[in-house]
């Protein structure tokens, strides 16, 4: 029966000890421990969130990079396409220009040739006329050495004139 007969002194001392320990530990142990734990937990939480954010940012950055690369590629393709077009155009233009130039040259050459030809013909005509005159002069001189012949010839000429 003495087992369930607690000593009064023990109860009093236990109360005092428990109260003292409760207040001492509350102030000097539990409070700093709880604060430290909370702080650390918040720290860990914040770091995790920051890491996640960084990860997201990295992902965005990668996406951006890809987009940039794609854009750059497209731009390059466009530039290339345009260059090719310009090249073709230049070649085309050059071709047409060259052909027209050639045509011009041929034309002017033809004209020149025609011109030269006519000039040459005129000159030949002149030379021939001159030669004919001199030959005719010489012939006439030979023919008309004597007076009879001169008269004969005048008559012929006159006859011809009459016919006209």
Partner 1 sequence: MNKLSAIKKAFTLVGTLLLMMMISSPGLMAQHNNNETDKAWEGSVLKEEFKAGDMIIEHITDSYEWHIISIGETHLSIPLPVIFYDQGKWHFFMSGAFHHGQQAHDGYFVSHKDFNAGKLVRLDGEGNEIRPQLDISITKNVLAIFISMFLMMWIFISVANTYKKRKGQAPKGLQSFVEPIIIFIRDDVAKASIGEKKYERYLPFLLTIFFFILLNNLMGIIPIIPGGANITGNVGVTGVLALFTFIITTFSGNKSYWLHIVNAPGVPWWLKLPVPLMPIVELMGIFTKPFVLMVRLFANISAGHIIILGFISLIFIFGKIAEGLGYGVAIVSVGFSIFMDLLELLVAFIQAYVFTLLSALYFGMATEEHH
Q: Residue 9 or 161: which CB sits closer to partner 1?
A: 9
Distance separating alpha carbons of residues 126 and 48, to the nearest angstrom: 113
Our finding on whether 49 is near partner 1 (CB under 8 A) is no
Place of tokens 């734990």: 37
Q: Residue 3 or 163: which CB sits closer to partner 1?
A: 3
Our finding on whether 106 is near partner 1 (CB under 8 A) is no
Residue 136 contacts residue 130 (beta carbons within 8 Å)? no
Our finding on whether 60 is near partner 1 (CB under 8 A) is no
Residue 90 contacts residue 82 (beta carbons within 8 Å)? no
Secondary structure element (H or E) that encloses residue 20, with its range: helix 8-25
Which range in 37-45, 52-60, 72-80, 147-155 contacts partner 1 by CB under 8 A? 37-45
Place of tokens 């890809």: 66
How many residues touch partner 1 under the rule CB under 8 A: the total is 35
Interface residue list for partner 1 (CB under 8 A): 1-15, 17-18, 20-22, 24-26, 28-34, 36-37, 39-40, 43
């Amino acid at each position: 029966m003495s087992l369930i007969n607690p000593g009064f002194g023990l109860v009093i001392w236990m109360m005092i000890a428990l109260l003292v320990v409760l207040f001492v530990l509350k102030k000097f142990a539990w409070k700093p421990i709880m604060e430290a734990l909370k702080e650390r937990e918040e720290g860990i939480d914040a770091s995790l969130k920051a890491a996640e954010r960084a990860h997201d940012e990295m992902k965005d950055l990668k996406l951006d990079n890809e987009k940039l690369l794609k854009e750059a590629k497209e731009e390059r393709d466009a530039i290339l396409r345009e260059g090719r077009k310009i090249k073709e155009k230049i070649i085309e233009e050059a071709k047409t220009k060259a052909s027209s130039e050639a045509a011009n040259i041929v034309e002017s050459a033809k004209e020149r040739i025609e011109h030269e030809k006519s000039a040459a013909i005129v000159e030949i005509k002149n030379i021939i006329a001159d030669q004919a005159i001199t030959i005719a002069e010489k012939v006439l001189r030979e023919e008309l050495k004597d007076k009879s012949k001169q008269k004969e010839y005048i008559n012929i000429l006159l006859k011809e004139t009459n016919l006209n």
